[in-house]
Amino acid sequence: MTSSYGSYRQLRFSPQRGPVARALARDAPLRRLDWVIVLAALALSLGSSMLVWSATRGRDSLTHGDPQYFLYRHLTNLVIGLVLFGAVVAIGHHRIRAAVPVLYALAILMLIAVLSPLGSTINGAHSWIQFGGGFSVQPAEFAKLAIVLGMAMALSSRVDTGERAIPTDRSVVHALVLAGMPICIVLLMPDLGSVMVMAVTILGILLASGAPNRWVFGLMVAGGAGAAAIWKLGVLSKYQIDRFAAFADPALDPAGVGYNTAQARIAIGSGGLTGKGLFHGTQTIGQFVPEQQTDFVFSVAGEELGFVGGLAIIVLVGVILWRACRIARQAGDLYGTVVAAGVITWFAFQSFENIGMTLGIMPVAGIPLPFVSYGGSSMFAGWIAIGLLQSVRTQRHLKA
């Protein structure tokens, strides 16, 4: 469990660069970016605009008669996401570290606001705050960032100062308390999909931090016990229980709760190797797959772009994860390592769950595919996370 720590510790105590090298590094911030990650995320975001457009242009009830409604909003969300990305890189994750308590408190307040009269229910989940003009926010997306930053701060506080070689038990408890608060609130909404992503992210962060094995195993046992308790105590809504039942038995209710996955698999299967062509998917045109611009956007790629298009999305996500792993290994401190590891686990599990539920190998959990699904909150949080990864990469040179 200390291998990640050992890799960055060697970098941390490597011979220092001279003032000329540091000055050159500061004068070329764009050169220090990992452009492979940026271009892969940009390709997903831009390419998905065509998928979102295809899935919504014929749905007058959603577009209010404007076929380009979702296309323009998706591109606007992307532009805002890129601005947030640039701001995070410019500020740097070390400066953001000082503001983590404030950012964490804001995330908690946003989650609490969802449970107040300000919250709105969409698709069975009371997890949104709606404003005028059709603008809405899903605070659970930003809570994922709060968990990553909060746990990173708690776990690295005594390691990066040189007091300890690995996080202490006290640091682990502190980190788990910070992670547990937003999970409890999100569970009350209930938003089971986001809870699943957060739980796996916490596990990935503990593994990357070098925390003692007993905490990792204990968390896994506690997670299993907690899932059983949630099921027995009736915390889940009926529609969420039905989704798990349909996953266990796809033929249980193909016209009801299993309808989404059944239609999504038909769409993907009919796409074949190269697809029916963009804007020519019969399942998409016929509006057979609900929520096709958000949770089931991968079915549009499968039908209209075929196996090749679906594989391209998976490869681009894989490229982001591969380069992010390199950033985590080469980070100059434990804080940077844990931040990068949290983003990796978050993106990896959320992508697997979203694509998996579309293919019928995972239960329907109602979570977006990063950078691909339509949604401002998801797009903003995703690009902020990319900015954190780039900051970990660029600032390690300045510390050297």
Query: What is the pLDDT at residue 235?
Result: 59
DSSP string, 132-150: GGG-EE-HHHHHHHHHHHH
Task: Indicate the residue type of 289.
Answer: V
Indicate whether 21 belongs to any domain. Answer: no
> What's the mean pLDDT when you consider all of the chain?
84
Backbone angles phi, psi at 126, to 5 degrees: -85, 75
Query: What is the pLDDT at residue 339?
Result: 96
**142: which residues sit within 8 A by CB, 6+ positions away?**
107, 110, 377, 380, 381
- Tell me the mean pLDDT in the region 221-234: 72
Indicate whether 23 belongs to any domain. Answer: no
Residues forming a β-bridge with 137: 129
Q: Per residue in 119-133, pLDDT tens?
A: 777 666 677 787 766
Tokens of residue 198, six digits: 């957060």
Confidence of residue 5 (pLDDT cuts 50, 70, 90): very low
Confidence of residue 400 (pLDDT cuts 50, 70, 90): very low
Query: Can you give the residue range of the structural domain that contains 90?
Result: 3-8+33-399
Query: What is the pLDDT at residue 58?
Result: 81
Indicate whether 28 belongs to any domain. Answer: no
Alpha-carbon distance of 64 to 287, in angstroms, equals 16
* Tally of structural domains, the chain: 1
Indicate whether 269 belongs to any domain. Answer: yes
Q: Specify the 3-state DSSP secondary structure of 254.
A: coil
Indicate whether 14 belongs to any domain. Answer: no
- Above pLDDT 90, what percent of the chain? 54
Query: What is the pLDDT at residue 243?
Result: 61
- Yes or no: say if 149 and 339 are a contact pair by the CB < 8 Å rule: yes
- Tell me the mean pLDDT in the region 212-236: 75
Query: What is the pLDDT at residue 387?
Result: 96
Indicate whether 182 belongs to any domain. Answer: yes
Indicate whether 20 belongs to any domain. Answer: no
Q: Per residue in 260-296, pLDDT tens?
A: 788 888 999 999 999 999 999 998 888 888 888 898 9
> Model's pTM, two decimal places?
0.87
Indicate whether 17 belongs to any domain. Answer: no
